[in-house]
Chain A
Amino acid sequence: MLESLIQNVLNALQWGSYYSLIALGYCLVYGVLLLINFAHGDIFMVGAFIGLGVATFFLGNLGPELGLSGPVVLALTIPLTMILTAAVGVTLERIAYRPLRRKGAHRLYVVITALMCGLVLENGNLAILGASRRSFPQLIPTQVYDFGLFSVTNVKIAVILAAILVFIFLQFVVTKTKMGMAMRAISWDKFAIPLMGIPVDSIIVFTFILGSGFAGLAGVLFAMSYPVLEPYMGAMVGWKAFIAAVVGGIGDIRGAFAGGFLLGFVEIMVVAVFPSTMRDLISFTILLVILTWKPTGLFGMAKTTKI
């Protein structure tokens, strides 16, 4: 019983890490723009496919010439994927969200545009790469460390560590740097901020770079643990990460981080104890109860609007 519990806590930490990494992206964009970027789950999917493309490029095309080994390819794949995925996120902002913002469209239209962008990414991928599943190459040999009570793999440890490091990094950026201060300021009052001489567009682009870049990282890490890629893989994970961010208190970095792990934990534990058909039912009921009890989420602040 104890063995299963420890093992499942580790499983939950790994599964929650993906939710956290994606939820952080939702949270950043929401925090700055008050926009729920529903395309974010699909940016995660694009990240996984970009990672696949980059990895196979180095392994297949350049690898034999340069003699790159798996770990080296991985070390190249992660930053390159993050950069390229960030570029996709910024492109999306440029062609879909910015024109709407310039025209002063209502937030609702921007959210619906985001939903559309997600569908465009999914179906664009389906049209370009086809419906066949893709397999992510094994870049580093999986080491299983068996401690008797529980067993972990190197990938599992790396994923959990990555989620924690990204959280610390973002927390630092948002609370301690000038960029972060500007981000928070836009969120506070986006009409007064340009008057202070802060370039709003650059800050928004920076936000998208951060969010999408870490979605790319999540994509590569996800593909390493679950190496079967398909165009719709981001949709459900994205939705759930969004819910995790809301439960954590959307707009708060700590909330997104904690919410992601909470959701991962609840999902794994429900499956471990109940039949798997009950998973989403029970886990989302729990989240619903949390929201009823604290509608602003675990770390959220209640906002009052002066009329």
Chain B
Amino acid sequence: MKRSGLLLALVFSLGLLLTAGCGGDEQKPASQEGGNIVIGFNIPLTGDIPKVGESSRQAAEMYLQQVGGKIDIAGKPYTLKFVYEDNESKAESAVNAQLKLIEQDKALGIIGPMASKQAVPGGEVADANQTPMIAPWSTNPATTTDRPFVFRACFLDPFQGPVVAKFATEEFGAKKAAVLFDVASDYPKGLAEFFKAAWEEIHGPGSVVAFESFTTKDQDFSAQLTNIIRSGADVLFTPQYYSEVALIVKQAKELGWNKPIMGSDSWGSAELMTLCGDACKGYYFSTHYAAAGATGKTKEFIDAFKSKYGYVPDDVAALTWDALGMMVQAIQNAPLTGNLAQDRVAVKDALAAIPSYDGITGSMKFDPQGDPVKSAVIVKINDAGEFEFFKSVAP
């Protein structure tokens, strides 16, 4: 009697799960033959940086709402469909998500992955399967190198590293720098190395006095920070994601660090200030756009986003918006035939051929490598906790 009750409960809950799964999944995997354009999103909805995925999805949803779920291609209306795949902010899951988007969901183009850790392996899969992809937020050069099908919407670390090094030299008069980064992640590791190279070019070899590392998921950085403080560095550069920044900055202060700390575009998440609070105020980071004091199209986007979701969009949202805009423009320009493999190649060619796209993070044009030529912004976190425009640096 008891056992059968348990069985019933199990069957019932399984049934519930199944119906719940089906309810949200009305759109069958569709190709563009039925008048559908499928764009896949390979984004981190769980894992280390869930806010990045959420921002990206919110921007995409807003885009879909603004165009009314339809786009015109050669005078005919097509239904626009977005498929969101969670890559758990892991490299291997990003590969699986990418394959699923390409093979199962029949995506014409892919937006994402966001962070370089997933975008570098994700780009490999997209290129091997001849599917155009735009990584909105990945700044590591390896993402697009020798991959004709892979593009990006942001500047690169070989540009960002020197920008930060130059800014710290001029603004703080710093001569010795310390770096703290995650060796197990492509983005911080690459950027830390570009920064080190740029710094030593300005100040001579050995001027990066501490080059300390940790591994993803570490929570205690006291040993590394002790070394950094004892090294006598004038500025600390930490190109980490927002959840780690909150821990690093707090621990550095607790160990007696009172000099400037600089970050990179990975700081620019809407969640940085809720996690870090007062500890991060007064520090600087390089990023793609500054929300405070924006004008024109950028301001329109910020206002629309803010009234819809109740907070100022971060650079991930803005870059997703631009990446999506470029992808849609390329799809509209491409001669679509209905054959998925051919259309993917056509969209890739159309992306490469975009003369100049006027996005909300600045105007951009792809170079032969698939990277846009655009400028960086240095942002200061002001006392109100806003990301305030401080300086613009053109390439």
Report the separation of the CA atoms of residues A130 and B246 in the bound assembly, to the nearest whole angstrom: 19
Cβ of A130 and Cβ of B255 under 8 Å apart?
A: no
Q: List, in ascending order, chain A residues with CB within 8 A of B250's CB.
A: 142, 227
Cβ of A272 and Cβ of B256 under 8 Å apart?
A: no
Q: Among the listed A7, A275, A279, which residue makes an inter-chain contact with B255, where contact means beta carbons less than 8 Å apart?
A: A7
Known contacts A11-B223, A15-B220, A144-B255; 11 further A-B pairs (Cβ under 8 A)? A3-B230, A4-B226, A7-B255, A131-B45, A156-B254, A227-B250, A228-B275, A236-B217, A268-B222, A271-B224, A276-B214
Residues 33 to 55 of chain B near chain A (Cβ within 8 Å): 45-47, 50-51, 54
Q: Among the listed A3, A135, A225, A275, which residue makes an inter-chain contact with B213, where contact means beta carbons less than 8 Å apart?
A: A275
Is A138 an interface residue when CB atoms closer than 8 A count as contact?
Answer: yes
Q: List, in ascending order, chain A residues with CB within 8 A of B218's CB.
A: 276
Is A146 an interface residue when CB atoms closer than 8 A count as contact?
Answer: yes
25 contacts between A and B (CB under 8 A): A8-B226, A11-B222, A15-B220, A131-B50, A132-B54, A133-B275, A135-B246, A135-B275, A144-B253, A144-B255, A144-B256, A146-B256, A151-B255, A153-B254, A226-B219, A226-B251, A227-B247, A233-B219, A236-B217, A268-B220, A271-B224, A272-B226, A276-B212, A276-B214, A279-B215
Report the separation of the CA atoms of residues A225 and B256 in the bound assembly, to the nearest whole angstrom: 15
Residues 208 to 251 of chain B near chain A (Cβ within 8 Å): 212-215, 217-220, 222-224, 226-227, 230, 243, 246-247, 250-251
Nearest Cβ in chain A — how far from B50, in angstroms? 4
Residue of B with least CB distance to A134: B275
Is B183 an interface residue when CB atoms closer than 8 A count as contact?
Answer: yes
Report the separation of the CA atoms of residues A22 and B222 in the bound assembly, to the nearest whole angstrom: 20
Q: List, in ascending order, chain B residues with CB within 8 A of A277's CB.
A: 183-184, 213, 215
Cβ of A228 and Cβ of B246 under 8 Å apart?
A: yes
Is B69 an interface residue when CB atoms closer than 8 A count as contact?
Answer: no
Report the separation of the CA atoms of residues A276 and B215 in the bound assembly, to the nearest whole angstrom: 7
Cβ of A7 and Cβ of B217 under 8 Å apart?
A: no
Task: Give the 9 A-B CB pairs with smallest separation, nearest first.
Answer: A11-B222, A131-B50, A271-B223, A131-B46, A272-B223, A151-B256, A135-B275, A268-B223, A7-B226
Residues 221 to 245 of chain A near chain B (Cβ within 8 Å): 225-228, 230, 233, 236
Report the separation of the CA atoms of residues A233 and B184 in the bound assembly, to the nearest whole angstrom: 18
Is A37 an interface residue when CB atoms closer than 8 A count as contact?
Answer: no
Q: List, in ascending order, chain A residues with CB within 8 A of B223's CB.
A: 8, 11, 268-269, 271-272
Q: List, in ascending order, chain B residues with CB within 8 A of A268's CB.
A: 220, 222-223
Is A14 an interface residue when CB atoms closer than 8 A count as contact?
Answer: yes
Q: List, in ascending order, chain B residues with CB within 8 A of A151's CB.
A: 254-256
Which of A14, A226, A271 has most chain B Cβ within 10 Å?
Answer: A271
Which of B47, B50, B223, B246 has most chain A Cβ within 10 Å?
Answer: B223
Nearest Cβ in chain B — how far from A118, in angstroms? 17
Q: List, in ascending order, chain A residues with CB within 8 A of B13's CB.
A: none
Cβ of A276 and Cβ of B275 under 8 Å apart?
A: no
Nearest Cβ in chain B — how far from A105, in angstroms? 17
Q: List, in ascending order, chain B residues with CB within 8 A of A14's CB.
A: 222
Binding site for A on B (CB under 8 A): 45-47, 50-51, 54, 183-184, 212-215, 217-220, 222-224, 226-227, 230, 243, 246-247, 250-251, 253-256, 271, 274-277
Q: List, in ascending order, chain B residues with CB within 8 A of A271's CB.
A: 214, 223-224
Q: Among the listed B183, B247, B255, which residue makes an inter-chain contact with A276, where contact means beta carbons less than 8 Å apart?
A: B183
Nearest Cβ in chain A — how far from B117, in angstroms? 16
Nearest Cβ in chain A — how far from B178, in angstroms? 14
The SS class assigned to the A binding surface is helix
Cβ of A276 and Cβ of B213 under 8 Å apart?
A: yes
0/1 per residue, A102-128, Cβ < 8 Å to B?
000000000000000000000000100
Cβ of B253 and Cβ of A135 under 8 Å apart?
A: no
Cβ of B277 and Cβ of A135 under 8 Å apart?
A: yes
Cβ of B47 and Cβ of A142 under 8 Å apart?
A: no
Residues 1 to 58 of chain A near chain B (Cβ within 8 Å): 3-4, 7-8, 11, 14-15
Report the separation of the CA atoms of residues A42 and B201 in the bound assembly, to the nearest whole angstrom: 48
A272-B227 contact, Cβ under 8 Å, with A226-B219, A228-B246, A277-B215: yes
Nearest Cβ in chain A — how far from B269, in angstroms? 10
Residue of A with least CB distance to B274: A135
Q: List, in ascending order, chain A residues with CB within 8 A of B214's CB.
A: 271, 276
Nearest Cβ in chain B — how far from A21, in angstroms? 15
Report the separation of the CA atoms of residues A15 and B51 in the bound assembly, to the nearest whole angstrom: 28
Q: List, in ascending order, chain A residues with CB within 8 A of B254's CB.
A: 142, 144, 151, 153, 155-156
Report the separation of the CA atoms of residues A15 and B47 in the bound assembly, to the nearest whole angstrom: 24
Cβ of B215 and Cβ of A226 under 8 Å apart?
A: no
Report the separation of the CA atoms of residues A153 and B224 in the bound assembly, to the nearest whole angstrom: 17
Nearest Cβ in chain A — how far from B24, in angstroms? 16
Cβ of A130 and Cβ of B50 under 8 Å apart?
A: yes
Q: List, in ascending order, chain A residues with CB within 8 A of B183's CB.
A: 275-277
Q: List, in ascending order, chain B residues with CB within 8 A of A153's CB.
A: 254
Report the separation of the CA atoms of residues A227 and B219 in the bound assembly, to the nearest whole angstrom: 10
Q: List, in ascending order, chain A residues with CB within 8 A of B47's CB.
A: 131
Residue of A with least CB distance to B224: A271
Nearest Cβ in chain B — how far from A276, in angstroms? 5
Q: List, in ascending order, chain A residues with CB within 8 A of B253's CB.
A: 142, 144
Nearest Cβ in chain A — how far from B45, in angstroms? 7
0/1 per residue, A55-83, Cβ < 8 Å to B?
00000000000000000000000000000
Which of A14, A133, A156, A236 has most chain B Cβ within 10 Å?
Answer: A133
